Structures are given as structure tokens and as C-alpha cells.
Chains A and B, each alone.
Chain A
């Protein structure tokens, strides 16, 4: 009887301590998917359809700068193995460039007023991340590839709101629409958990984030309605780099 009472007293004494300082299990929580945010300097290659030496509309109005695009992707893990993870997901971004309107005075160009172009790329993507190096050798690097189908919603505006253009036959072409395309990405992620495994486990225990990755990648894309003859090119002419954070949960 005394032993039972002692055991109960010890259990009662231990319970508040356990509540204040949770025991973090070594085993990580089950994975479901991931969420990531990134930034990327971006400049659509709209001028690609115009011959060199002729007026380049985009460069004339917006210059050669590359405003930042912000993007967020959400993935569901479909296949998790000891080698890596196959994800399927969706994402969206936002980008806008501002410039000055143009007045053609003979051969000179006078600038004034404001005009802008806004892009909202929405994409469905499939990606594969090799986790083998980290899982097997504890090398905190995870290369990945991603392929996406993109639908970029775009809008241009001037002094009086969304732009419009009236053709010779009276048809009004509004300066807004959506253009489809594709993109492929090659990247490398640095596993931040490697640098503080205790904090990593704490995050998993507290909010269910299994892994945090700092990534850097290059994306090649083409957004011109898959080559349709009446579509412009909204993708950059180069491999666009981006940097961001990915949270695996």
C-alpha cells in the first residue's frame, strides 16, 4: 500500500513538470505537404516579337529594370520515400511595373503621365525533391526540380484605368487578359534544421513543421499561350533566379 501511495505521489509531482516542459519526441510527425514563399527579379520579354532596331514598347515605357515578383506555392506530398518526395501543388504570384506614358513629338519621345502592367501568375505544379543526401549522409542539401503549367492574368493601365485600344475596324481590345504557358525549375535547398536540430524538433512539436528549407533556384519559362500567333511573351528571356523559404509540414 505504501508503495502505491509513493508511486501516486511521484506521478502527481511529475505531472506539472511535464506540462511545463514538454517531452519532444524523437520521431518526427507525419508529413502532409509544404508551403513556400519566394521573391524573384522579373522582366517579361514582351519586346521579343519586335525586330531589333524598331521601337521596343516594354523597354521604352518601363525601362530595363526587373521589379520583384513575389510568389507562394502550396504542395501536397503524393509520394514520400527514403530518396525524396514527389509533390503536387498550386501557387500564385504578384508582380507590377510602373512607367511613364509616351508622346511622340516628331522623332523625339516626350514622357509623362503614368502607366503600369500587372501580372498575377497562377500555376499548377509537380515537383520532386531529393532528400537522400540529408537523410542518408546528413549533408544539408536537397536538389529539386519542378514543372508547372502557368496561367498569367495580366492587366495594363494608364491615366484613366485599364487600357484599351480601338482597332481600325472599331473593335475595342482591352489591355487585360490571361496567357497560358509552362515553366521548369532547377533548384537547390539548404536544410536549415541541420544547424539547430533542437529548434527543428521544437517546431515540429509546436506547429508541425518537419523541415525548413532555404532555397535558391533558376526557372525557365514560356508564357505565350503555347506559341499562339496572337499572344505576347510574358516570360523572361533568361533563366530567372529566385530565393525563398519552404516549410515542410
Chain B
């Protein structure tokens, strides 16, 4: 009698979980990339790229017993509920904890099962589903325990626009904006740009990375006319085409420019910096003292 009651108690949470749709969460990231939630075009097509799934099963409902498993499944549609497990799946792994990391899930398989193509010009989001697959000693029903999404960012960013170059002392400040989208290129949110400043043959090229706006190439040789190119990179790591080159010209030639203070001193300006001297040194404290005396007199 007691055993039956215990079984009923064990079954109740699982039943409630399946009925109410209270599920845990799962995120995935490409192991080599280390960012959560998306893969780039190369990783999508690669037969060796793997992902790590971090799952957190619903806090109530699953009590693990020996031999229980998680079934990992990717889908183009929403994860199905109920007690029927999907027949095709990515992998089954031994369930050791309701909060568990699963490594070695092939990214390409995730895309194929989730219906993503690796050449699309737009982001493709697939659904990640984790099911509880009861072991031989479990009294629970199979059920969906965690769900999440994963993005295949297959869009290639357009070549950036290098709008202008402003030379400085051993540096060039390049104004960069995203290029125009085409049928196969998308200026997705979060693009970063890498600028390469290349001297004439034989010199060492310098690179600098940043967001849209002014990106500064440092460590350049004054008096050398550089050629500047740029390339955009999507958050997932897709590289776009190389931009049209800027220079070599006066605008891409760093020079030892001097600032205003140096121009002033080169012109034999008399100011020496620091705090004021001369009459001011006595006038200011005297005024402060007068003010204090006045305030004290009024108070009394």
C-alpha cells in the first residue's frame, strides 16, 4: 500500500509537468567559437564542428534514476509535448543531473535535423528540444523537459564602406560604415570591422578592429603612404568581401602632427602652464578672506 502511494506521488509531478507545459531551458554554442546560440556558415557545413548543449530540466517533475537518458532533438517547428519521443534524434545521453552539459553534438546534424541550410542569406533559427527518456527502473513517462533555440547565421556581410581617412602622428583614423546589402549579403546587427593598413612593398601591415565609426590603425611609419582596406565580420564569424581600397594618398599618410600646445610653444608663447602666479596669487586669497570676514560679521 505504501509502495503504491509512493509511486503515485512520483508520478504526479511528471504528469503535472506534461500537462502544464512548464519546461526547462537549453542553450547551445559551437565549442570552438565559445559564443552562445549561433553558428556561422562554415560551422554549419563542417562535418567536424561540434556544439555543447547546456540543459536545465524543469525543476519539478523529473527524479532521475539509473539508466535514465536525455534525448536531444532539433526541429524546425516547436518542440512537441506528450509522452511520445521523436523517433529521429541527434543523440541520447545518460542523464546524470537535471542541470547537465552535453558535448560533441555535431553542428551539421543540428542544422539538417532543424531544417536549416548553410547557404541562406538570412538567419535561420531552429528549436532545440530535450526529452526525458526513462530508464528501466524509472516510473516516469517520457516527456519534454527543456527547450530553446539556436541560430544559424549564414548571411555574409557586405564589404564595408571606407568613407574617409584622417592622418595622425603614426596613425590613421578610418571612418567605416556597413556596406549596402545585396541579394546574398546582409548587414546583420553587431557587425565588427577589421581595417588593414598596408605600406608599400616590404613593410609590415597593421590591423585594427572596431565597430562602425572611426577605427584607428596605430604604429604606422610617418611619411609613408598606406593602402587601407576593410572587411566586415558577422557576430557568428562570417567574413564578408574586402572593401574597395583607400589610398595611397596624403589622407593615408601619417605625419608627426603637433597639437595646439606645441604649436603655441613653437611660436614662443609665454604661457608656461600650471597655476596662476604674480598678482593673482595674492588677490584670490585676499578676496576669500574678505568673504569669510563678511559672512562672519553678518552672522554675529
Q: Which of A28-36, A169-177, A201-209, A240-248 is the interface stretch?
A: A169-177
Q: How distant is the Cα of A236 from the Cα of B87 in the complex, in angstroms?
A: 83
Interchain CB contact under 8 A, B283 and A226: yes
Query: A177-B276, A225-B276 in contact; A113/B261 too (CB < 8 A)?
Result: no
Whether, in the assembled complex, B123 has its beta carbon less than 8 Å from a beta carbon of chain A, the answer is: no
Q: Which of A4-12, A65-73, A132-140, A157-165 is the interface stretch?
A: A157-165
A118-149 contact mask (Cβ, 8 Å, vs B): 1 or 0: 00000010000000000000000000000001
Most buried by A among B269, B274, B291: B269
Interchain CB contact under 8 A, A228 and B260: no
- Nearest to B251 among chain A residues (CB) is A112
How many chain A residues sit at the interface, stated as a range, is 35 or more
Whether, in the assembled complex, B258 has its beta carbon less than 8 Å from a beta carbon of chain A, the answer is: yes
Interchain CB contact under 8 A, A227 and B291: no
Interchain CB contact under 8 A, A177 and B273: yes
Whether, in the assembled complex, A178 has its beta carbon less than 8 Å from a beta carbon of chain B, the answer is: yes
Report the minimal beta-carbon distance from A39 to chain B, rounded to whole angstroms.
24
Query: A57-B260, A228-B278 in contact; A176/B273 too (CB < 8 A)?
Result: yes
User: Which residue of the partner chain, among B167, B254, B278, B287, contacts A225 with CB atoms under 8 Å?
Assistant: B278
Chain B residues with CB under 8 Å of A226's CB are: 278-280, 283
Whether, in the assembled complex, B255 has its beta carbon less than 8 Å from a beta carbon of chain A, the answer is: yes
User: Which residue of the partner chain, among B259, B270, B279, B291, contacts A232 with CB atoms under 8 Å?
Assistant: B270
Query: A112-B167, A159-B168, A174-B273 in contact; A227/B279 too (CB < 8 A)?
Result: yes
Interchain CB contact under 8 A, A163 and B262: yes
Q: How distant is the Cα of A99 from the Cα of B168 in the complex, in angstroms?
A: 13
Interchain CB contact under 8 A, B276 and A157: no
Interchain CB contact under 8 A, A164 and B277: no
Most buried by A among B169, B264, B267, B294: B264
User: Which residue of the partner chain, among A61, A62, A173, contacts B272 with CB atoms under 8 Å?
Assistant: A173
Whether, in the assembled complex, A75 has its beta carbon less than 8 Å from a beta carbon of chain B, the answer is: no
Whether, in the assembled complex, A218 has its beta carbon less than 8 Å from a beta carbon of chain B, the answer is: no
Interchain CB contact under 8 A, A57 and B264: yes
- The DSSP consensus for interface residues of chain A is strand
Whether, in the assembled complex, B201 has its beta carbon less than 8 Å from a beta carbon of chain A, the answer is: no
Interchain CB contact under 8 A, B277 and A228: yes
Chain B residues with CB under 8 Å of A100's CB are: 257
Report the minimal beta-carbon distance from A125 to chain B, rounded to whole angstroms.
11
Q: How distant is the Cα of A145 from the Cα of B256 in the complex, in angstroms?
A: 48
Interchain CB contact under 8 A, A113 and B169: yes
User: Which residue of the partner chain, among B254, B260, B278, contacts A163 with CB atoms under 8 Å?
Assistant: B260
How many chain B residues sit at the interface, stated as a range, is 35 or more
Interchain CB contact under 8 A, A178 and B275: yes
Interchain CB contact under 8 A, B260 and A230: no
- Nearest to B280 among chain A residues (CB) is A180
Q: How distant is the Cα of A229 from the Cα of B279 in the complex, in angstroms?
A: 11
Interchain CB contact under 8 A, A102 and B271: no
- Nearest to B286 among chain A residues (CB) is A149
Interchain CB contact under 8 A, A175 and B270: no
Q: How distant is the Cα of A117 from the Cα of B166 in the complex, in angstroms?
A: 20
Chain A residues with CB under 8 Å of B250's CB are: 110
- Nearest to B216 among chain A residues (CB) is A159
Interchain CB contact under 8 A, A225 and B279: yes
User: Which residue of the partner chain, among A101, A149, A230, contacts B271 with CB atoms under 8 Å?
Assistant: A230
Report the minimal beta-carbon distance from B27 to chain A, rounded to whole angstroms.
42
Interchain CB contact under 8 A, B276 and A55: no
Interchain CB contact under 8 A, B255 and A151: no
Whether, in the assembled complex, A194 has its beta carbon less than 8 Å from a beta carbon of chain B, the answer is: no
Which residues of chain B from 185 to 212 have a CB within 8 Å of any chain A CB? none
B276-300 contact mask (Cβ, 8 Å, vs A): 1 or 0: 1111100110010001001000000
Report the minimal beta-carbon distance from A96 to chain B, rounded to whole angstroms.
12
Report the minimal beta-carbon distance from B186 to chain A, rounded to whole angstroms.
34
Chain A residues with CB under 8 Å of B256's CB are: 103
Interchain CB contact under 8 A, B259 and A113: yes
Which residues of chain B from 123 to 168 have a CB within 8 Å of any chain A CB? 166-168
**Complex A-B, nearest 5 residue pairs according to Cβ-Cβ distance, in ascending order:** A158-B259, A180-B280, A101-B257, A163-B261, A175-B261
> Please, could you name 28 A-B residue pairs with CB atoms under 8 Å apart, sorted by A?
A55-B267, A57-B264, A88-B291, A88-B294, A103-B256, A103-B258, A112-B166, A112-B255, A112-B257, A113-B167, A115-B260, A116-B260, A149-B284, A156-B260, A156-B261, A156-B264, A158-B260, A158-B262, A159-B168, A159-B259, A163-B261, A173-B273, A173-B274, A176-B273, A177-B276, A178-B275, A225-B277, A231-B271
Contact surface of A with B, Cβ cutoff 8 Å: 46, 49-50, 54-55, 57-58, 60-62, 88, 99-103, 105, 110-117, 124, 149, 151, 156-159, 163-165, 173-181, 225-232
